Structure 1
Amino acid sequence: MADHAEHTEQDKREKLKELVKDARIGMLTTMTTDGKHVSRPMALQDVEFDGDLWFFTYADSDLVAQIRANPQVNVSFSDAKQHAWTSVSGSAVQTDDRAKAEELWNPLLKAWFPDGLETPNLTLVKVHADSAEYWESAHSSKVVTLLGYAKAAVTGKTPDAGENETVRL
Structure 2
Amino acid sequence: MSSPEHKQKIWKLIEKIKVGMLVTLDDGVPRSRPMHLVQDAYDGTLWFYTRRSAEKSFEAKQDQDVCLTFSDHDDGIYVSMSGTARLNDDPGLIEKYWNPFVAAWFTGGKEDPDITMMEIDIDFGEHWQSRESKTFQLYEFAKANIKKDHKPDIGENEKFGH
Alpha-carbon distance between aligned partners in 1 of 2:74 and 2:108, rounded to the nearest angstrom: 33
* Of 67-76 and 14-23, the range deviating more from structure 2: 14-23
Contact 2:4–2:43 (CA<8 Å) still a contact in 1? no
Consecutive aligned runs of 4 or more in structure 1 exceeding 3 Å deviation = 8-11
Question: Quick check: 1:149 aligned with 2:129?
Answer: no
Contact 1:47–1:53 (CA<8 Å) still a contact in 2? no
Q: Percent identity?
A: 35
Alpha-carbon distance between aligned partners in 2 of 1:96 and 1:88, rounded to the nearest angstrom: 23
Alpha-carbon distance between aligned partners in 1 of 2:75 and 2:94, rounded to the nearest angstrom: 29
Q: Which amino acid aligns with 2:24?
A: T
Q: Which amino acid aligns with 1:101?
A: I
Q: Which amino acid aligns with 1:61?
A: A
1:67 corresponding residue in structure 2: 60
Shift of 1:99: 0.8
Question: Quick check: 1:138 aligned with 2:131?
Answer: yes
1:12 corresponding residue in structure 2: 6
* Of 44-53 and 156-165, the range deviating more from structure 2: 44-53
Deviations 1:3-25 (A, max 9, x none): xxxxx944433211211212210
- What are structure 2's unaligned runs of at least 5 residues? none
Question: Where do 1:82-121 residues align within 5 Å?
Answer: 82-121=75-114
Provide the secondary structure at the position in 1 that maps to 2:16: helix
Alpha-carbon distance between aligned partners in 1 of 2:20 and 2:57, rounded to the nearest angstrom: 16
* Of 36-45 and 10-19, the range deviating more from structure 2: 10-19
How many residue pairs align between the two structures?
160
2:33 corresponding residue in structure 1: 40
Shift of 1:158: 1.1
Match of 2:50 among 57, 75, 78: 57
Alpha-carbon distance between aligned partners in 2 of 1:116 and 1:90, rounded to the nearest angstrom: 29
Q: Which amino acid aligns with 1:66?
A: E
- What are structure 1's unaligned runs of at least 5 residues? 1-7
2:119 corresponding residue in structure 1: 126
Q: Aligned-residue CA RMSD in angstroms?
A: 1.9
Shift of 1:163: 0.7
Shift of 1:121: 0.5
Provide the secondary structure at the position in 1 that maps to 2:15: helix
Shift of 1:95: 1.0
